[in-house]
A and B are shown apart, each in its own frame.
Chain A
Amino acid sequence: MKGFAAIAVAVAALACVPLFVHSNVVLNFMVVALMIALAGQGWNILGGYGGQYSFGHAAFFGTGAYMTATLQVRYGVNAWLAFAAGIAAGALVGAVIGGLAFRAGLRSSYFALVTLAFAEVLRILAGVAPITGAGVGILIKLDLRPQSFQFQSRAVFYFVILALVALSLVITRLLERSRFGAWLIAVRENEDAAMALGVDAFAVKLGAMVVSAAITAAAGCFYAQYFLFVDAGIGYGPWISIEALLTPIIGGAGTVFGALLGALVVKSLGEGAKLLTGDAPGLDLMIYGAVLVLGIRFAPRGLVGAVTDAYNYFRSAMQKPAAEAAHG
């Protein structure tokens, strides 16, 4: 059960936040941070564990958000069902993009390019298609009832997104312990060698892509439900592709808590900068760009890696004098 206890502790600690904090501003910040953590955890499955760096996870986030909103507004579907449909649609888009890209054998730069291109095509199409509300976007009608997946209190939304994040952490931990996870890491480390050992790299990458897309789509569904609005720039915009990859990279790609830790740190930095200098356009993204470059430069394994290294360093530093004393 190693690992699951840590998840339980972390989630329990986060669950206490609304008990102490009643400020809507802080709760709103936490909700958004956890939503980005969820989107980042999706990227982490494919990018962190599978080594396939997608630059277009907006494709899944936007599909989730648009599916949730469109089904409710245009077809009167129940919000909870629409939420589930949004996740399924995101997974499907992941399967299509992954199927095409991996079948064509695209790796590294090429994979990054093609995912970026798909997200941009979807953004342009969503900005002109009538079904998505074209340039205006889609507004979900305010209806503060639990059966409409809308709540009077932000705290309830907070628990919803926390539950989704907790679920994503458990899925990630299960993946880590599974045979599938071992195959995925083998593909990341050396795809040709993994294939030589009999790993079906195509199936493994495709599977990871579908799970990854579904998790990021869930974040998109939540966005639509929380803000009750989505347009092409929000749903399929480059900002979410960047935040989805930034959070696990900063926190620690290929670790269970990487995306969660990264989201809390990155979002705090963004908000802190806004508080200091006022809400200038481009400022938060400018900081994210700098954080990405500096993070890779000075903590290539993310915060989780840096903390582990520091812990090991101090432990060996503590043990050395003791060992020397024992021998001397």
Chain B
Amino acid sequence: MTRVFSPLILITAVLNGLMTGAVYALVALGLTLIYGVLHIINFAHGALLSAALFAAFLAWQKLGLDPYLAAFLLAPVFFALGYGLQRFIIGPASHGDDRNMLLVTLGLAVLIENALLYEFHADTRTVDLAYGFKSIDVGFTFLAVSRLISFIAVFAVALVLWLIMSRTDIGKAIRAVASEKLGAELAGIDVAHIYAMTFGLGTACVAIAACLLIPNYYASPSAGNAFVLIAFTIVVLGGMGSVPGALIGGLIVGVVESLGGFFFGESLGQVGIFLIFIAVLLVRPRGLFGAGA
């Protein structure tokens, strides 16, 4: 039996993939930003995403805050959390050795994830919103409202981030530290502060991603890991430290996943992503857009 796919269904799958991919891209953006400046992979990224999902859930449950509004509260809170983690824990604990920094972020990941498990147990929690399952008619297909909002929001966040990086003094300092740490330090830039600012920005990305995800996703102690695995793949694919790479890589992975699910079913999804990930690492660790490993 030959299966015939109408092009409209395919286009729908691609659009859905693009919308999912945008949130992946946001998680990856935080990861790549941190890598670009600190030159380490933040293994606590997934645990922080889980924590942010719980924070968004609690904001909705306890304060009655809509997740999209909660983003404006949680982004600064998580910025401060990320700043504090890097400034007072990861930075001092690393003693200037990248390998120690890796281990500390891993330790934090284990600590945060299991603290969430201890506090909330393994059950999943969901928010219940009036618009959670609403969709709009775009002529040939229907698109979920919440996912459309997240798609637009991600590009708004990317734009803000780009403005911060290109138009502000702090952005200039971050770029200076990323390209030449010692030189930046000699020019009077407080590297520890810039590291922490970068970590804060990356963590704020995670908080916004959580607020965009929670309307049709769930909070659980390990919920963030699935996204971070994908984010690792995107960051490696797009080139570590490359912001456009993370955005384009995120969209590509979203579309590939959506089309893969469409053609092959979703059961093999995770192994597929891992295998792509390993293959890219082994064959082209610089990624598609990266300058050097």
Contacts and interface: CB of A to CB of B under 8 A. Distances in A.
B partners with A: yes
Nearest to A288: B110
Contact of B41 (A113, A120, A281): A113
Interface stretch (B2-10, B126-134, B180-188, B272-280): B272-280
A110 B232 CA distance: 10
B106 A242 contact: yes
Contacts of B102: 53, 108-109, 112
7 contacts: A109-B35, A109-B102, A242-B106, A292-B103, A293-B93, A296-B107, A297-B92
Contacts, number: 128
Given A120-B229, A121-B271, A281-B122, A106 B281 contact: yes
A120 B274 contact: yes
Interface residues of A, number: 40
B66 to A, nearest CB: 30
A297 B277 CA distance: 32
A109 B98 contact: yes
B221 interface: yes
Interface in B262-293: 270-271, 274-275, 277-278, 281-283, 285, 293
Which of the four size classes fits the interface of chain B?
35 or more
B43 A282 contact: no
Interface in A219-235: none
Contact of A121 (B89, B232, B278, B283): B278
Contacts of A105: 285, 293
A109 B31 CA distance: 12
A11 B106 CA distance: 32
Interface string A169-188: 00000000000000000000
A282 B115 CA distance: 7
Contacts of B240: 109
B107 A293 contact: yes
Contacts of A285: 110, 113-114
B104 A100 contact: no
B115 A286 contact: yes
A101 B93 CA distance: 28
Contacts of B35: 109
B118 interface: yes
Nearest to B108: A293
A55 interface: yes
B41 A109 contact: yes
A300 interface: yes
B109 interface: yes
Contacts of A197: none
